[in-house]
Amino acid sequence: MTQQLAPDPTPEPREPAEVGFSPDSEVNVHQNLDRNDADDWETLSPLEYFTGSTLLRVETGQHTDFASVPRFFVWLIPKYGLYTRSAILHDDLCRTGSKPRLEADMLFREAMDTEDVAFLRRWMMWGAVRIGALKSWRQVPRWLKESWQVVLLLLIAVPVIGPPAVTIAVGLALFYLFEKVTQGILVLANRMGGKKAKHVNRPSLSFKL
């Protein structure tokens, strides 16, 4: 499955020394189902991002899952949008380790700014990836230096996005239970039918898209 996600709106052409993505850096990806992960996409063309002094390049054949947004937050921040190229760049920087995590997260926020992502949204997404950096204990000392910014964002965001997120999470769990009951009924019906049992796909509960 191949999908093209053209940036919207189309950015104006940039000079090589200007901060932002190259005008010909289009999102061209292929869903890689061979990896048993429906959320794994592979780039079919390179992306180039100018920091003003350095050229960062995401080569063809790199893997991304776009914006790593839990399912109960996609109503606010979808998997892809104006920030798609920024998310692919961030995935590449984190995977290759070509930049320290703190700098990679900062470049993610900077790139979203050049893509016209609204102020609070890009800062919230930056806060999310900073929290994600805590998966590695090596990031803790440097993370603490900017922790006050993340805490401030949480104080602003949680009262607004917390209640809907909890409601959606509960709804996903309830629907999973409904799917499990439905699966059990279908399996039982197949066995009672006296015919060769049909395969019934098993549902799964995941809060990740």
Query: Is the separation of the CB atoms in 197 and 188 below 8 Å?
Result: no
Q: pTM of the prediction? A: 0.80
Confirm whether 103 is domain-assigned.
yes
Q: Is residue 11 part of a domain?
A: yes
Whether residue 206 is contained in a domain is answered as: no
Q: What is the DSSP letter of 177?
A: H
Residue 9: asked if its preceding bond is cis (omega within 30°), the reply is yes
The total domain count for the chain is: 1
Burial 99-110 (b: 16+ CB within 10 A, else e): bebeebbbbbbb
What integer pLDDT is reported at residue 16 of this predicted model?
Answer: 47
179 part of a folded domain: no
Domain of residue 77 covers 2-120
In a domain, 126, yes or no: no
51 found inside a domain: yes
Give the per-residue pLDDT at 35: 61
Note the pLDDT of residue 14: 46
Within-domain flag for 173:
no
Q: 60 vs 31, 39, 46, 53, CA distance in Å?
A: 14, 18, 5, 23
What is the number of alpha carbons within 13 Å of residue 34 lying toward its C-beta? 4
Q: Which pLDDT does position 53 carry in this prediction?
A: 86
With a cut of 70, list the residues of the chain below it in pLDDT: 1-17, 35-37, 193-198, 207-209
Instruction: Please name the residues in contact with 33: beta carbons below 8 A apart, sequence gap of 6 or more.
Output: 1, 40
Q: How much is the CA Rg of the chain, to the nearest whole Å?
A: 21
27: in domain: yes
Q: Where are the beta strands (DSSP E) in 18-112?
A: 20-21, 27-31, 41-43, 47-50, 55-58, 63-64
User: Identity (one letter) of the amino acid at 12?
Assistant: E
Query: How many CB atoms neighbour CB 121 within 10 A?
Result: 15
